[in-house]
Amino acid sequence: MGRLIDIGKAFETALFSGDQEEIRQTMHPDISYEMLGRPPLGGRFEGRENVIASFENRKVGLGPGFEYEQISRDWFEDEAHGKVFVEIYEKSWLAKYPGDLLIVRTCSVLSFQDGKIISIIDYTDSQAYAGFKERHEGDIPKFAKG
């Protein structure tokens, strides 16, 4: 496994565990994060604190409140260009609707500068997210009116 993949995996582990200090350690201060698409499903954030806040509040995507199962997660490194690619295949669902699965493939591209992540771009199937949002908007915590 390459050095950049190790940093990318450390970032992901910290993100899933909520370890903000470790997240900060993997990020360049000038990092940008973009999930393709328009808000509220997509968006762009710049600067370490804004990017961390976007993950904490799940400002892009459908937000928190889902059950989750990873189907596959494959890591690739292009050290010559300072990039790591993560191909993610996963499914999620609302506990209330276990038969309505959101099955998504995402490719995340992490770019590095000075041994830190300077950019993350998530290329994902925004139509799958939009369709799920349309079917269950009132039941998705991020969008529920209340």
Consecutive sets of 10 residues in the chain, 146 residues long: mean pLDDT of each?
92 92 96 92 94 85 89 97 97 94 96 97 92 93 80
Contact 73, 89 (CB under 8 A): yes
Tokens 């409140």 sit on residue: 65
- For the chain, percent helix, then strand, then coil, each to nearest 5? 35, 40, 25
pLDDT at 72 (0 to 100): 97
Sign of the CA dihedral 132, 8, 69, 73? positive
pLDDT at 146 (0 to 100): 62
pLDDT at 1 (0 to 100): 64
Into how many domains does the chain fold?
A: 1
- Is residue 128 a part of any domain in this protein? yes
- Is residue 31 a part of any domain in this protein? yes
pLDDT at 12 (0 to 100): 94
How far apart are alpha carbons 101 and 91 in whole angstroms? 6
- Is residue 18 a part of any domain in this protein? yes
How far apart are alpha carbons 139 and 63 in whole angstroms? 12
How far apart are alpha carbons 84 and 91 in whole angstroms? 22
- β-strand pairing of 67-78 with 27-35: unpaired
Q: Is the pTM of this model over 0.95?
A: no
Structure tokens at 136: 């269950």
- Is residue 146 a part of any domain in this protein? no
Q: Which residue range(s) make up the domain with 12?
A: 3-139
CATH of residue 16: 3.10.450.50
